[in-house]
Amino acid sequence: MSKLNPVSPPVSEDMTEDDVHRHIAEAIIDRRLPPGVKLVEQNLADIFSVSRARVRAALSRLALEKMVTVEPNRGARVATPSVEEARQVFDARFLVEDGIVRAAARAMDAAARARLEAHVQAEADARARRDRHAVIRLSGEFHLLLADIAGNGVLLDFLRELISRSSLVISVYERPGATDCSHHGHHDLLHHLIARNAEGAATAMRQHMEEIVESLDLSAHREDGVDLMRVFASLRRVDA
């Protein structure tokens, strides 16, 4: 029998650079790692049981993806988007997701419908059990699923970066008490997509994105402290 323990040895001793990149990216996207948090190479190397060089390579990739900032002699931190960057990120999403949802509506078939319905149900289940991290992750993945159904790999890659950066924006500028990406909005989108109504789906997407932007206070700023060991505790265990 095993249990989680934040100071126990890592589960895996052969984690790849891709694994390290993925775990840190997921922690940023689902907001376990808030903007401004310092990412100490040695701490992460100990947590993942890899070399500092492997951690450094993963952080460099995250910096290229605008999720992390790396400064000489100061190390890496989770990126903190400016107000102007926040606006630009969502302006880009309005443009990109309008095209994606129209293409997805035209591409809808029985298989796509089943994928979307299963995903929306997974979101509902996560909300019912009050699993906020799962809700955040699934909400972003819904938009990526639309891009996948639309069948444009370039747009999918671009949207993946925009959603990652959106998560950082929301972490910094979300109004107190605001809810995450609206499940109701996803239901409305699904309704129009099933009907293959591209115009209705585009209108629903625009309204959905407007709700997200309205949940932000672009005059606000905050920076949280965080314990890296606790964030990645789920990767570690001890035998009882």
**Domain containing 124 — which CATH number?**
1.20.120.530
Strand, helix or coil at 25? helix
Domain co-membership, 187 together with 233: no
Confidence at residue 175, expressed as pLDDT on a 0 to 100 scale: 83
Give the relative orientation of helices 41-48 and 17-29 as an angle to the nearest 10 degrees: 110
Instruction: Name residues whose C-beta falls within 8 Å of residue 84's C-beta, 6 or more positions apart in sequence.
Output: none
The residues of the chain scoring below 70 in pLDDT are: 1-13, 177-183, 220-227, 231, 236-240
Domain co-membership, 69 together with 155: no
Q: How many domains are contained in the chain? A: 2
- Cα 166 to Cα 122: distance, rounded to the nearest angstrom: 21
Domain co-membership, 98 together with 158: yes
b or e along 11-28 (b: 16 or more beta carbons within 10 Å of the residue's beta carbon)?
eeeebebebbbebbbebb
Confidence at residue 7, expressed as pLDDT on a 0 to 100 scale: 33
Confidence at residue 237, expressed as pLDDT on a 0 to 100 scale: 58
Domain that holds residue 125: 83-214
Confidence at residue 21, expressed as pLDDT on a 0 to 100 scale: 95
Confidence at residue 74, expressed as pLDDT on a 0 to 100 scale: 87
CA distances from 224 to 22, 42, 169 (A): 22, 21, 14
Confidence at residue 172, expressed as pLDDT on a 0 to 100 scale: 86
Domain co-membership, 90 together with 197: yes
Residue 105 corresponds to which tokens in the numbers above? 């509506």
Domain co-membership, 35 together with 102: no
Tokens 């102007």 correspond to: 84
- Cα 201 to Cα 210: distance, rounded to the nearest angstrom: 14
Domain co-membership, 91 together with 206: yes
- Cα 171 to Cα 34: distance, rounded to the nearest angstrom: 6
Domain co-membership, 194 together with 114: yes
Query: CATH number, domain at 56?
Result: 1.10.10.10
Domain co-membership, 164 together with 179: yes
Tokens 């997701």 correspond to: 97
Domain co-membership, 134 together with 55: no
Confidence at residue 73, expressed as pLDDT on a 0 to 100 scale: 83
Domain co-membership, 94 together with 184: yes
Residue 92 corresponds to which tokens in the numbers above? 């880009």
Closest CA to 100 of 88, 84, 112, 83: 112
Confidence at residue 9, expressed as pLDDT on a 0 to 100 scale: 38
Confidence at residue 132, expressed as pLDDT on a 0 to 100 scale: 85
Domain co-membership, 134 together with 160: yes
Question: What Rg value do the Cα atoms of the chain yield, rounded?
Answer: 19
Evaluate whether 147 touches 156 at the Cβ level (below 8 Å): yes
- Cα 139 to Cα 160: distance, rounded to the nearest angstrom: 12
Whole-structure pTM value: 0.76
Domain co-membership, 6 together with 64: yes
Confidence at residue 14, expressed as pLDDT on a 0 to 100 scale: 79
